[in-house]
């Protein structure tokens, strides 16, 4: 198997083990709201939000692609003739 596939499978296995072992409800408080959320839902949700945030930051930091149009020639040097 390829290295990327093996690393992906190992990551998914560890992620699954972490989720299965954390099945308790925890109180989740935001400002004046409070509710109980199972860790089974909260961990993947926060993982996905973190991934999307990192991906959007990476896209925002990229330089825009320039069109590969024909280069414009500058002024010709005088006196070469």
8 A C-beta contact, residue 25 and residue 38: yes
**Nearest-angstrom CA–CA distance, 72 and 60:** 29
Section 7-16 average pLDDT: 89
The pLDDT of residue 23: 79
The DSSP string of 3-51 is: HHHHHHHHHHHHHHHHHHH---EEEEEETTEEEEEEHHHHHHHHHHHHH
Residue 81, domain member (yes or no):
no
8 A C-beta contact, residue 40 and residue 26: no
Residue 43, domain member (yes or no):
yes
Q: Per residue in 20-68, pLDDT tens?
A: 887 788 888 888 888 888 888 887 888 899 999 999 988 887 777 766 6
Residue 19, domain member (yes or no):
yes
Structural domain harbouring 27: 3-55
Domain count, the chain: 1
Residue 68, domain member (yes or no):
no
Residue 20, domain member (yes or no):
yes
């Amino acid at each position: 198997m390829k290295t990327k596939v093996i690393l992906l499978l190992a990551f998914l296995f560890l992620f699954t083990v972490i989720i299965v072992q954390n099945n308790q409800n925890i109180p989740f408080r935001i400002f004046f709201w409070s509710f109980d959320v199972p860790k089974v839902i909260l961990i993947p949700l926060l993982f996905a939000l973190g991934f999307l945030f990192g991906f959007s930051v990476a896209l925002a930091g990229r330089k825009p692609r320039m069109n590969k149009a024909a280069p414009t020639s500058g002024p010709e040097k005088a006196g070469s003739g």
